[in-house]
């Protein structure tokens, strides 16, 4: 597997001797001492902060001209902003920019062979693969179905509902995630229309029009592992999709 950088459908394959050297993250977990008691209380939200990604690149030039040519090409692409860094054939991290560059030569091979350490900033701290898509045909209500999230972290879902009959009021609940639930009531939610509820962007649209005023409750996520959903409402086709992401 050769690491690569991808932006605007332009792919740069990094030198074969490139490797992921550092992958660390921290959380926004903070504490405050308890008054007149032992221990403390959690005050942060424990969400993942932005992170840095370290990549080591080894360049073995035939001569100084060849070495410098490879370094120039590497920097031309590494310095781009807002691109994907693929660390396997399918898994990538979104990097905002290059924050640090360090070049060291092998003894006796100045300007011909060396190691370059690159540090990228990832404002979005997760590693991604493709989007997981699940479809459920609802013919009776209430209905339960299970969705598996194969990753190691929760992920926001996009719910698409296409009624096969008038569906003036409906409810969807993730029983596994503490019963988090949303409801939607709309006399315009008739057969063939498309309701899209996107937890990542916080939007609710019916055939592309903003209808968030008809939405109550909370946007849903899937925890890692099996998630049991319960739907109450009219007949419809439900599609739930979410990005597969890892810490």
What would the pLDDT profile of 178-219 be if each residue is shown by its tens digit? Answer: 999 999 999 999 999 999 999 999 999 999 999 999 999 999
β-pair partners for 228: 146
Structure-token pair, residue 71: 């370094």
pLDDT of the residue at 116? 96
pLDDT of the residue at 46? 84
Structure-token pair, residue 221: 């996520």
Q: Residues near 46 by Cβ (< 8 Å), separated by ≥ 6?
A: 27, 28, 29
pLDDT of the residue at 222? 98
Check if the beta carbon of residue 59 is closer than 8 Å to that of residue 74: yes
Structure-token pair, residue 43: 């005050």
Cα separation, 192 vs 78, whole angstroms: 47
- Torsion, CA 185, CA 189, CA 195, CA 201, rounded to 10: -40
For tokens 């993942």, the residue is 48
Assigned architecture for domain 4-125: Beta Barrel (2.40)
DSSP 8-state class, residue 49 = P
In the predicted structure, residue 42 carries a pLDDT above the cut 80 = yes
Check if the beta carbon of residue 177 is closer than 8 Å to that of residue 145: no
Residue 21 pLDDT level (bands cut at 50, 70, 90): confident
The whole-number average pLDDT for the span 216-244 is 97
Mean pLDDT, the chain, integer: 94
Cα separation, 220 vs 231, whole angstroms: 13
Q: Tell me how many degrees the CA angle 77-82-87 measures, rounded to the nearest 5.
A: 70
Q: Does domain 128-246 have CATH number 2.60.120.860?
A: yes
The whole-number average pLDDT for the span 45-72 is 94
Indicate the SS3 state at residue 223: coil
pLDDT of the residue at 31? 84
What would the pLDDT profile of 74-131 be if each residue is shown by its tens digit? Answer: 999 999 999 999 999 999 999 999 999 999 999 999 999 999 999 999 999 999 999 9
Burial class (CB in 10 A: 0-12, 13-18, 19+), 238: buried
**Segments of 43-126 assigned E as strands:** 51-60, 83-86, 92-95, 97-105, 113-122
pTM score? 0.86
| For the chain, domain boundaries | 4-125, 128-246
Check if the beta carbon of residue 191 is closer than 8 Å to that of residue 184: no
Please give the share of the chain, as a percent, with pLDDT higher than 90: 86
State the alpha helices, DSSP H only, in the chain.
64-78
Residue 221 pLDDT level (bands cut at 50, 70, 90): very high
The whole-number average pLDDT for the span 223-237 is 97
In the predicted structure, residue 1 carries a pLDDT above the cut 80 = no
pLDDT of the residue at 34? 87
């Amino acid at each position: 597997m050769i690491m690569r950088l991808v932006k605007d459908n332009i792919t740069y394959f990094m030198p074969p001797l490139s490797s992921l050297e550092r992958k660390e993250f921290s959380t926004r977990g903070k504490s405050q001492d308890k008054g007149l008691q032992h221990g403390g209380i959690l005050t942060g939200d424990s969400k993942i902060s932005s992170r840095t990604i370290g990549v080591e690149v080894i360049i073995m030039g035939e001569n100084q001209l060849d070495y410098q040519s490879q370094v120039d090409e590497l920097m031309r692409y590494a310095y781009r902003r807002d691109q994907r860094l693929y660390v396997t054939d399918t898994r990538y991290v979104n990097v905002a920019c290059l924050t640090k560059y360090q070049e060291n030569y092998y003894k006796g091979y100045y300007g011909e062979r060396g190691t370059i350490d690159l540090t990228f900033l990832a404002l979005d701290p997760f590693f991604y693969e493709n989007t997981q898509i699940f479809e459920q045909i609802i013919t009776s209500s209430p209905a339960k179905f299970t969705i598996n999230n194969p990753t190691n972290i929760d992920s926001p879902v996009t719910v698409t509902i296409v009624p096969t009959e008038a569906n003036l009021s409906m409810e969807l609940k993730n029983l596994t995630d503490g019963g988090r639930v949303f409801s939607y009531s709309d006399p315009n939610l008739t057969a063939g229309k498309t309701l899209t509820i996107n937890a990542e962007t916080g939007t609710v649209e019916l055939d592309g029009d903003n209808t968030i005023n008809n939405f109550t409750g909370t946007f849903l996520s899937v925890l890692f592992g099996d998630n049991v959903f319960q739907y109450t409402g009219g007949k419809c086709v439900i599609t739930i999709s979410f990005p597969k992401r890892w810490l």
